[in-house]
Structure 1
Amino acid sequence: MEIEIYLDPVNIDFDSNPDKNAPQCFGDKIVVYREKNKFPDLSEINLAILGVKEDRNALLNKGCAEGPDHIRKYFYELYPGNYNNKIADIGNIIPGNTVDDTYFAVSTVIAKLIKYKITPIILGGSQDISYANYLAYEQLGQIINIAAVDAAFDVGYQSTDITAKSYLSKIIMHQPSCLFNFTNIGFQTYLVDQKAINLMSNLLFDTYRLGSIRENIEEAEPYIRNVDMVSFDVGAIRMSDAPGNAYALPNGFYGEEACQIARYAGISDKLTSIGFYDYNPLFDNRFQTAALIAQIIWYFIDGYYNRKNDFPHIQKDDYLKYRVSVNDNTREIVFYKSKKSDRWWMEVPCPTDISKNYLRHYLVPCSYKDYLSALKEEMPDRWWQIFQKLM
């Protein structure tokens, strides 16, 4: 695959704690790149752990470059679920002379992995690595949706330089653009200025407050099911559960809610990369956050190995089809319900000249709640937002 030139082997003392590498634990069951010039064969692999020890653009969170190996130590001691895992830990990106060099290496490695149907699990490092993740899809020529689990929008107005707090602006402004939609999950209103909220609205991006998601965590599933890439800021988890971050906050998701969100990401047939960022061991009391992130990754993997492969364009005979008239019968919404998973999608009209390019976007994940809204002749917000984008 020719990616090993960008990678250093995992440098962890595997013998320092025998319990962490016990038989049947992940540390014993996955393929690990441990020695230079002995890069593992990835031909049978479908998930790859990739560390990125980069924090030069981390602003006040310097030290997060040391996060990947701490997370690994706790991940390796976990037991896999009841599935035949084909996971490799391919080591850490070799830091470049400049941050841009690191971005190039990250995007190249991720693009190669995705091309060969391997989903990378990225361990940061600072969250600006999300920009490099995005560039991988540009290399692949793929129009994508991104979700960020984050307490803020990270658009940044003070500088044109990319940082962990402004990477999203870099993605939005990048040309040629391969971004179709962006979704923020869990923002806290008092941390976001009105200018940023207006920007998200004007761009027809989806933003969901922490309170609304926590009130009904199941509603996060359709939002995540619609994305190709997830950027998970550890700072979105409350300080009591995840103190290992310079920006840790008193409010945020509980650890078990973060695990649930990660599992939703895992079961999404569409998602092809996920990254966990801004974990800083310098602030981590008894490495509680490292242990939590390891468990969050466990839930992502568990979701991945329970995918249903039921995206509607595959075989529509496997779905129940519902037609609902709204707006006094002037418009019809077509819903699909999977017989495999009971998950819902709705079809958004798309101009025929672009329908082929946007097939993955005009079949929109939704919930039973959206179907009930349509029955009341209420146009679902998700439907309307995508309709405006496609028109």
Structure 2
Amino acid sequence: MDLTLYLKPTNFSKFKPTPWIQSKFSLGSILEKNQAKLSLDKAQIVLLGVEEDRNAVVTGSAKAPNIIRQHLFNLNRISPRFKILDLGNIKTGKTPNDTYFALRDVCSYLLEIGKTVVILGGSQDLTFGITKAFEATPFNLVNIDPKLDYKKGVKSINSETYLNFIHEKQPCLYAQTILGYQNYFIDSLELDYCYEQDIDVKRLGEIRYEMAHIEPYLRDTDILSFDINAIRQLEAPAQYFGSPNGLYAEEACQIGHYAGMADQLKIAGFFNLIPHLDTNELSSKLMAQVVWHFLEGFYFKKVEQPTPESEDFNEFLLEIDDIDLPLAFYQSHQTGRWWMKIADEENQYERMIACTEEDYKMAAQHEIPDRWWKNIRKLNRLTK
């Protein structure tokens, strides 16, 4: 595939280092060197900007990718051996739909050659274009969002309705999770819809109470779609939503770190930042730091896959009256993380899913964890 047909290379001369950094130790320095010397096949992870917001509820986010870059490039390089490549920005199509398809083509190619992709948006409806790269492969999606971007019966796509198109046109969607929603922005009928579709939803208060409990959702996801509107406006003014409540900056960075560490995550997109609404570029700086934490998590992550034969995991088999086969849990010796094994009704398909120690403790008390039930339903639906 000739990526030059789709991409505009990053012009590093436009990004000036701030006086307080040592340029040779900055992420921008290593990215500029890599642009000249690192081939795509040797890169571990790639950055990609998408200057598209024509289907946004409020436009302006098309200007975000390069402004986020300006602040991202000033941050620490993480490691001089980090093989990270900035591919530039996707050329905007004649219509937003053209941009979705260009994004699909580029992401499909990068996934095919085994690259993890970080996308700097742009509006969040670009998530639909990303999912089109998974049209033949089951995938999991995690949204960091204060609300549900789904409107029943709506047939036009925008940054508030793109989930309509994913739910209706992407049959390979296996699981979806919405993290950080705020109850006063979601109607009870919308929550009913989530339960009917087996969409996991976690309120802002739930994830704030125990941030570590969101890590299994991120560990199992293929796509992360991060809406800056999930962060409270005081810490991220460049948003159209403008809520006094939301994630704190540190929590947003923690989510970025967990996502970077995720074993199977393939594409992470950061959306809806509107630079002309910003104050002292505070939002752009924060989004750059969230992306930096994602990159740091990626660089230091430990990919683990438990099996009954592996000596790197403890295996726990629990007998529960309502289940024919014992529940199998695995804990890593190295990281302390947990998994559980599920199988379909015919016991032909098995799947290892991330979980928490609390899920294991619940099963040890002869209670079947909600995570087990939901994933069994999803697996049975997928295999029928």
Does the alignment pair 1:147 with 2:145?
no
Match of 1:49 in 2: 47
Provide the secondary structure at the position in 2 that maps to 1:184.
Answer: strand
Q: CA deviation at 1:178?
A: 1.1
Candidates 103, 106, 126, aligned match of 2:123:
126
Candidates 152, 160, 163, aligned match of 1:157:
152
Cα displacement string for residues 143-177 of structure 1 (whole angstroms, at most 9, x for unaligned residues) = 101000000110023631111001111000005x1
Distance in structure 2 (CA, Å) of the matches to 1:158 and 1:173: 11
Distance in structure 1 (CA, Å) of the matches to 2:314 and 2:141: 28
Q: CA deviation at 1:278?
A: 0.1
Cα displacement string for residues 109-150 of structure 1 (whole angstroms, at most 9, x for unaligned residues) = 111111111111000100000000000111xx2110100000
Provide the secondary structure at the position in 1 that maps to 2:326.
Answer: strand
Provide the secondary structure at the position in 2 that maps to 1:92.
Answer: strand
Percent of residue pairs identical: 34
* Paired amino acid for 2:104: S
* Paired amino acid for 1:226: D
Candidates 169, 173, 193, aligned match of 1:174:
169
> Using a 3 Å threshold, how does the CA distance of structure 1 residues 283 and 39 change in structure 2: closer, same or farther?
farther
Cα displacement string for residues 255-276 of structure 1 (whole angstroms, at most 9, x for unaligned residues) = 1101111111111111111000
> Using a 3 Å threshold, how does the CA distance of structure 1 residues 33 and 166 change in structure 2: closer, same or farther?
farther
Provide the secondary structure at the position in 2 that maps to 1:151.
Answer: coil
> Using a 3 Å threshold, how does the CA distance of structure 1 residues 47 and 297 change in structure 2: closer, same or farther?
same
Does structure 2 retain, via aligned residues, the 8 Å contact 1:228–1:271?
A: yes
**TM-score normalised per structure 1:** 0.92
Does the alignment pair 1:253 with 2:247?
yes
Provide the secondary structure at the position in 2 that maps to 1:326.
Answer: coil
Does the alignment pair 1:292 with 2:304?
no
Candidates 313, 336, 354, aligned match of 1:365:
354
* Paired amino acid for 2:221: V
Q: CA deviation at 1:368?
A: 0.7
Does structure 1 retain, via aligned residues, the 8 Å contact 2:71–2:284?
A: yes
Distance in structure 2 (CA, Å) of the matches to 1:342 and 1:30: 33
Q: CA deviation at 1:315?
A: 6.4
> Using a 3 Å threshold, how does the CA distance of structure 1 residues 317 and 83 change in structure 2: closer, same or farther?
farther
Does structure 1 retain, via aligned residues, the 8 Å contact 2:27–2:78?
A: no
Q: CA deviation at 1:14?
A: 3.8
* Paired amino acid for 1:28: S
> Using a 3 Å threshold, how does the CA distance of structure 1 residues 269 and 314 change in structure 2: closer, same or farther?
farther
Does the alignment pair 1:23 with 2:24?
yes
Match of 1:75 in 2: 72
Match of 2:81 in 1: 84
Does the alignment pair 1:338 with 2:332?
yes
Distance in structure 1 (CA, Å) of the matches to 2:12 and 2:239: 22
Q: CA deviation at 1:247?
A: 1.1
* Paired amino acid for 1:318: D
Distance in structure 1 (CA, Å) of the matches to 2:316 and 2:347: 26
Match of 1:306 in 2: 300
* Paired amino acid for 2:110: L
**TM-score normalised per structure 2:** 0.93
Q: CA RMSD in A?
A: 2.1
Candidates 317, 321, 326, aligned match of 1:323:
317
Give runs of aligned pairs for residues 181-220 of structure 1, distance below 5 A: 181-220=175-214
Q: CA deviation at 1:286?
A: 0.3
Cα displacement string for residues 196-218 of structure 1 (whole angstroms, at most 9, x for unaligned residues) = 11111001111111110101001
Cα displacement string for residues 43-76 of structure 1 (whole angstroms, at most 9, x for unaligned residues) = 21111111000000101x2111000011000000
Give runs of aligned pairs for residues 92-107 of structure 1, distance below 5 A: 92-107=89-104
Distance in structure 2 (CA, Å) of the matches to 1:257 and 1:235: 14
Q: CA deviation at 1:331?
A: 5.2
Does structure 2 retain, via aligned residues, the 8 Å contact 1:122–1:274?
A: yes
More moved, 38-47 vs 127-136: 38-47
Candidates 379, 386, 390, aligned match of 2:368:
379
Does structure 2 retain, via aligned residues, the 8 Å contact 1:151–1:188?
A: yes
Q: CA deviation at 1:349?
A: 2.1
Match of 2:343 in 1: 349
Does structure 1 retain, via aligned residues, the 8 Å contact 2:234–2:244?
A: yes
Q: CA deviation at 1:10?
A: 2.0
Does structure 1 retain, via aligned residues, the 8 Å contact 2:15–2:70?
A: no
Does structure 1 retain, via aligned residues, the 8 Å contact 2:18–2:74?
A: no
Does structure 2 retain, via aligned residues, the 8 Å contact 1:70–1:290?
A: yes
Distance in structure 1 (CA, Å) of the matches to 2:323 and 2:167: 37
Give runs of aligned pairs for residues 256-295 of structure 1, distance below 5 A: 256-295=250-289
Q: CA deviation at 1:13?
A: 4.1
Does structure 1 retain, via aligned residues, the 8 Å contact 2:175–2:199?
A: yes
Does structure 1 retain, via aligned residues, the 8 Å contact 2:329–2:338?
A: yes
Q: CA deviation at 1:78?
A: 0.4
- Structure 2 spans left out of the alignment, 5+ residues: none
Cα displacement string for residues 321-348 of structure 1 (whole angstroms, at most 9, x for unaligned residues) = 0011223775521001112211100011
* Paired amino acid for 2:29: D
Distance in structure 1 (CA, Å) of the matches to 2:37 and 2:53: 26
Q: CA deviation at 1:353?
A: 7.5
Distance in structure 1 (CA, Å) of the matches to 2:194 and 2:178: 9
> Using a 3 Å threshold, how does the CA distance of structure 1 residues 377 and 69 change in structure 2: closer, same or farther?
same
- Structure 1 spans left out of the alignment, 5+ residues: none
